[in-house]
Amino acid sequence: MSLPAVFKRRQEADESNTSVDTSFLRFEPEEHYHAQSVHFLSSHKLANFRRNPLLFYKKEAGLVPADSDSPTYLLGRAAHKRILEGKQAYESCYAFGGPINPKTYKPFGSTTKAFQEWTEKIGRPVLTDDQAILIEEMNTAVHAQLHAVALLQAGVPEGVVRVRYGDTECQGRIDWFNPHRGIVDLKTCESLDWFAGDARSYGYVHQLAFYRALVEQATGRTVPVHMIAVEKREPFRCGVWHVTDVVLDKAREENEVAMARLRECRRSGLWPTGYENILSIDYLYLN
């Protein structure tokens, strides 16, 4: 989709003012990136620690099962692949549909032995026809949103940055890095009406503050941050949010406090629950 003149002028102005060399980014399979998590702190791990230090420790030590993959995570990863990397990359990574039951002429269910044997044979994650249709709807919506198109007009997807930050070896996998517009994060959601609140509740701002800090460590540049959000249901609206420096700086401060606490927990071997002291119930209704 071509950009209107106003967006082209804005992009040209951005390009003339700032451009970040993307050579600091690495490109590697997602499986390799996640395998390195034993050596590097990620935004996801930091969020888990901030939420529950004791559970973080037990997961890291292998004392409790790791989080299982869910259909929601599968759909989100597939949508990222389709929207950010294109149809060819998407279709090379995922299979669609499934084997047909000769008695009913319908696909076998995902829990049947025939389906499981088929997926093992093809060796790729499988999307149902309904999931594939949903992903195409989201892809169309993102590429119909002019601000989203402008952000994705230049740049690279799924670049990995690894640096030492705050005396800790860290890594991040950035959805999209535009050398002129900075970090672009893609989110799927139920409704755009609640997305700004969800961004706070789910820690998206802290995640992006972490990424921005890693980029700053790697390049010496403080880059802008945007989020593209697209609905997973009709009418598949797509919106773009700019995250302000004030909010990112505050989230960065909280991240660095949490990182210092994490280093102290690892040094002392003490992993708090957050409920060591007596708490008070001092209100009747939430405001």
Q: What is the pLDDT of residue 18?
A: 65
Q: Does some domain include residue 83?
A: no
- For each of the chain's 287 residues, which pLDDT tens digit applies? 444 443 443 444 444 456 999 999 999 999 999 999 999 999 999 999 999 999 999 999 999 887 766 778 899 999 999 999 999 999 999 999 888 888 888 888 777 888 888 888 888 888 988 999 999 999 999 999 999 999 999 999 999 999 999 899 999 999 999 999 999 999 999 999 999 999 988 999 999 999 999 999 999 999 999 999 999 999 999 999 999 999 999 999 999 999 999 999 999 999 999 999 999 998 888 66
Q: What is the CATH number of the domain that holds 251?
A: 3.90.320.10
Q: What is the pLDDT of residue 100?
A: 87
Q: Does some domain include residue 3?
A: no
Q: Does some domain include residue 84?
A: no
Total structural domains in the chain? 1
Domain containing 187: what range? 19-63+129-268
Q: H/E/C letters for each residue in 118-147? A: HHHHHCCCEECHHHHHHHHHHHHHHCCCHH
Q: What is the pLDDT of residue 93?
A: 93
Q: Does some domain include residue 212?
A: yes
Q: Does some domain include residue 176?
A: yes
Q: Does some domain include residue 7?
A: no
